[in-house]
Amino acid sequence: MTKITPQPGILDIAPYVGGASHVEGVSDVVKLSSNENPFGPSEATVEAFRRAGFELHRYPSTDHAALRAAIGAVHDLDPAQIICGVGSDEILHLLCQAYAGPGDEVIHTEHGFAIYRIGALAAGATPVEVPEKNRVTDVDAILAACTKRTKLVFIANPNNPTGTMIGADEVQRLADGIPETALLVLDGAYAEYVDGFDGGASLVTGRDNVVMTRTFSKIYGLGGLRVGWGYAPAHVIDVLNRIRGPFNLSTPALAAAEAAVKDQAWVDKCRSDNTRLRAWLAEVLAGHGVQSDPSETNFILARFADAEEAAACNEYLKSQGLIVRPVASYNLPEYLRITVGDEASCRRVAHAIGQFMGGAA
Ligand X SMILES: *Cc1c(COP(=O)(O)O)cnc(C)c1O
Instruction: Work out how close the CB of 87 gets to ligand X at its nearest, in angstroms, rounded to a whole number.
Output: 2
CA distance 276 to 203: 29
Of all residues in this chain, which one has the CB nearest to ligand X in the complex?
A: 87
Which C-beta is closer to ligand X: that of 211 or that of 357? Answer: 211
Q: Which residue in 351, 354, 352, 350 sits closest to 340, CA to CA?
A: 350
Which C-beta is closer to ligand X: that of 193 or that of 266? Answer: 193
Q: Which residue in 356, 351, 357, 349 sits closest to 30, CA to CA?
A: 349
- Residues with Cβ within 8 Å of 226's Cβ and at least 6 positions away in sequence, in order, are 86, 87, 217, 253
Contact 52, 256 (CB under 8 A): yes
Instruction: Work out how close the CB of 223 gets to ligand X at its nearest, in angstroms, rounded to a whole number.
Output: 6
Which C-beta is closer to ligand X: that of 221 or that of 233? Answer: 221
Which C-beta is closer to ligand X: that of 187 or that of 258? Answer: 187
DSSP H or E stretch at residue 316? helix 307-319
Residues that bind ligand X (CB under 6 A): 35, 87-89, 113, 156, 160, 187, 189, 215, 217-218, 223, 228
Q: Which residue in 193, 99, 127, 199 sits closest to 156, CA to CA?
A: 199
Which C-beta is closer to ligand X: that of 115 or that of 349? Answer: 115
Residue 207, SS3 per DSSP:
coil
Contact 302, 292 (CB under 8 A): yes
Which C-beta is closer to ligand X: that of 199 or that of 228? Answer: 228
Which C-beta is closer to ligand X: that of 35 or that of 150? Answer: 35
**Beta strands, E only, the chain:** 30-31, 82-85, 105-109, 126-130, 150-156, 183-187, 210-215, 228-231, 299-303, 322-323, 325-327, 332-339
- Residues with Cβ within 8 Å of 186's Cβ and at least 6 positions away in sequence, in order, are 155, 156, 157, 171, 199, 200, 203, 204, 210, 211, 212, 213
